[in-house]
Amino acid sequence: MLSLSGANSDRSMEDAIAAYIIQEIVAGKGPLKLEADTPLLASEILDSLSLLKLVLFLEKQYGIAIGGMELVPENFETIGAICKFVRSRLKTKG
Amino acid sequence: MTCVGASNAGKTAREGSSAENNGVGPRHPSTSELQARTRESSWSRLGLSEGDVHIWCAPLDKVEATPFLWNTLSQQERERANGFLLKRDLRRFVVGHAYLRGILGQYTGISPKDIPLASETHGKPSLGGSWEAKRIRFNMTHSTGLALFAVTLDRAIGVDLEGVTRTPGLEEMAARYFSKPERAYIEAFRGLRRRRAFFRVWTRREALAKGMGRGLSGLLDSDLARCDCSQKSTRIGDWQIEGLDNRPGFEAAVARNGPIKRITPKEITEVALLAERQ
C-alpha cells in the first residue's frame, strides 16, 4: 500500500489511476489524455462494468473496501474526485 | 386491455360528440382529440399493448452523425455530446440518441426533435410531457457499436447489452461481486462459453439495476444476485427478467417491473425511421 502525504503522493495517486484507466479500460480505443478534472462518467470513459473493475483496482492498490453506497457520481466523476474519495477512506481506515 | 389511453381517447371523442353536437350534423374533433387519436394509432400501428416489450436494435457505426441527426438532439444532449473525449463515442451518442428520439416519436406521434426527454432521480431517462406520453416507458443500452432500445407501457423497464469481448479480470470481478450460485453457474463453463456466461449474469443484473433506476449505488444491490441465469426467464418480486436472443458476440437482457407477455424484436434500417418523421 502506498504512503500518502503531500503533493507528490497526490500526484502519484492521480498518475496511477489515470494509467490504470488508460491501460486497462480505454485500452487502445483512442488517443486520450486524462487530467484530474476530465469527466469520466459523463463522457462514458467509465461505464458500470469498467467502474466496478476500477473499484477492484482501488481496493487492491490502496487496501480499502468500497461499499455499494459509496458508488455515487460525486466519488467517481473525475480522477480528482476518485483521489479525494480514496484519501478520505484511507484517513477513516487510520 | 390493449391500451388504456386508446380506450379513453375513444370514449372522450364519443362523449364529446354527444354533448356538443346535440345530434345535429357531423362534428369536427378538437385538436386534443386528434392528438389522442394520433397516439392511439401510433401505439396500435406498432402493436404495443399491456405486457408487451418492444426491442429495437440499431447498429451505431453504420451511420454518420450528420447535421440532420445533430439537429434532432436537444441543447442538453448536444452539450453532453461535446463532452465526449473520443470521436467514436461522440458519434455513437449522437446516432443513438437520434434513433431514440425517432423511436419515441413513432410511439407518441411527436416529432423526434420535440420529444420531451426528462431524467429520474438518478439520471434514468424518461418521457416528460403529457400523461399519455409518460405511459411510454423506455430504456436504452449500447456496447461495441450496437444499441438496443426497450419500450413498454406503464411499467419501469431496463435493458442491457454487452459485447462478449476479451476482458481481462472477469473471474476476479465474479469473485468480488457475484453470489455463490452466480459463480457456480459461470464456473460450469469453460473458455469462451465461460466468458459468455459471465456476461449473461452481468446483463441480467444490469438490466434489473437499470430498470430499478437506483443509479451506480444500485449496482451492488443484493436483489441483483437473485437472477437464475440457467433459465431464460426469471422473476424477482414484481420484476420479470428475460434473456434476449441476441446477435452473435453479444449478451443482452431486459427487466420489466411487471409481467412480460411478449417480446417483439424491431429492426431499424438506416435512417428511414427518422426520415419518415419529417
Tens digit of pLDDT for each residue in B26-48?
A: 456 566 655 555 555 566 678 89
- What the block records as the C-alpha cell of B203 is 446483463
- Chain B positions touching A50 (Cβ under 8 A) are none
Distance CA B61, CA B59 (A): 6
Enter the pTM of the model: 0.84
Contact call for residues B107 and B151 (beta carbons, < 8 A): yes
For residue B81, give its domain range: 55-276
**B23 domain residue, yes or no:** no
**B234 domain residue, yes or no:** yes
CATH topology for A6-93?
Answer: 1.10.1200
pLDDT at A81 over 90: yes
Cβ–Cβ contact A48 with B under 8 A: yes
Question: Hey, where are the domains in chain A?
Answer: 6-93
User: A21, A24, A43, A70: best mutation site toward chain B, by most B Cβ within 10 Å?
Assistant: A43
How many structural domains is chain B composed of?
Answer: 1
* pLDDT at res. B188: 96
Least-confidence region, from A16-25, B23-32, B129-138, B219-228 = B23-32
* pLDDT at res. B130: 83
The shortest CB-CB distance from B217 to any of A44, A59, A72 is to A72
* pLDDT at res. B43: 67
Chain B nearest CA to A27, separation (Å): 10
Give the end-to-end CA distance of chain A in Å, rounded to a whole number: 13
* pLDDT at res. A10: 67
Q: What are residue B83's phi and psi, to 5 degrees?
A: -85, -5
* pLDDT band at residue B132 using 50, 70 and 90 as cut-offs: confident
Cβ–Cβ contact A69 with B under 8 A: yes
Inter-chain CB proximity A52 and B209 less than 8 Å: no
Inter-chain CB proximity A52 and B88 less than 8 Å: no
**B213 domain residue, yes or no:** yes
**B40 domain residue, yes or no:** no
User: B220, B221, B222, B223: best mutation site toward chain A, by most A Cβ within 10 Å?
Assistant: B220
Q: CA separation (Å) from A81 to A27, A33, A87?
A: 22, 17, 10
Least-confidence region, from A3-17, A26-40, B13-27, B48-62 = B13-27
Torsion of CA B37, B41, B43, B45, to 10 degrees: 180
SS (HEC) of chain B: CCCHHHHHHHHHHHHHHHHHHCCCCCCCCCHHHHHHHHHHHHHHHHCCCCCEEEEEEEECCCCCCCHHHHHHCCHHHHHHHHCCCCHHHHHHHHHHHHHHHHHHHHHHCCCHHHCCEEECCCCCEEECCCHHHHCEEEEEEEECCEEEEEEEECCCEEEEEEECCCCCCHHHHHHHHCCHHHHHHHHCCCHHHHHHHHHHHHHHHHHHHHHHCCCHHHHHCHHHHHCCCCCCEEEECCEEEEECCCCCCEEEEEEECCCCCEEEEEECCCCHHHHHCC
Q: How far is CA B134 from the centre of its chain?
A: 13
pLDDT at B3 over 50: no
Chain A nearest CA to B217, separation (Å): 5
Cβ–Cβ contact B112 with A under 8 A: no
- Chain B positions touching A49 (Cβ under 8 A) are 162, 167, 202, 206
Nearest CA in chain B to A38: B85
Please name the residue that has the C-alpha cell 492498490.
A61
Nearest CA in chain A to B220: A68
> Once rounded to an integer, what is the mean pLDDT over residues A1-19?
71
* pLDDT band at residue B220 using 50, 70 and 90 as cut-offs: confident
* pLDDT at res. B33: 59
Cβ–Cβ contact B83 with A under 8 A: yes
Distance CA A10, CA A87 (A): 9
Contact call for residues B96 and B142 (beta carbons, < 8 A): yes
Inter-chain CB proximity B209 and A48 less than 8 Å: yes
Chain B nearest CA to A32, separation (Å): 7
Nearest CA in chain A to B169: A53
Least-confidence region, from A4-8, A74-78, B87-91, B139-143 = A4-8
Q: CA separation (Å) from B257 to A53, B60, B155, B190?
A: 28, 28, 5, 33
Mean pLDDT of chain B: 83
Kindly report the CA angle at B139 between B133 and B140, in degrees rounded to 5?
130
Inter-chain CB proximity A42 and B219 less than 8 Å: no
* pLDDT band at residue B230 using 50, 70 and 90 as cut-offs: confident
**B183 domain residue, yes or no:** yes
- The CATH number assigned to the domain holding B268 equals 3.90.470.20
Inter-chain CB proximity B83 and A43 less than 8 Å: yes
Q: Which of A20, A13, A21 is nearest to A84 (CA)?
A: A13
* pLDDT at res. B172: 95
Chain A nearest CA to B162, separation (Å): 10
Distance CA B250, CA B14 (A): 49
* pLDDT at res. A1: 42
**B215 domain residue, yes or no:** yes
Distance CA B80, CA B117 (A): 14
CA torsion sign for A6, A11, A14, A15 is: negative
**B154 domain residue, yes or no:** yes
Contact call for residues B98 and B147 (beta carbons, < 8 A): no
Q: Which amino acid is at B3?
A: C
- What the block records as the C-alpha cell of A77 is 466523476
Cβ–Cβ contact B199 with A under 8 A: no
**B197 domain residue, yes or no:** yes
* pLDDT band at residue B55 using 50, 70 and 90 as cut-offs: very high
pLDDT at A3 over 80: no
Sheet architecture: strand order including B233-236: B157-163, B250-256, B239-243, B233-236
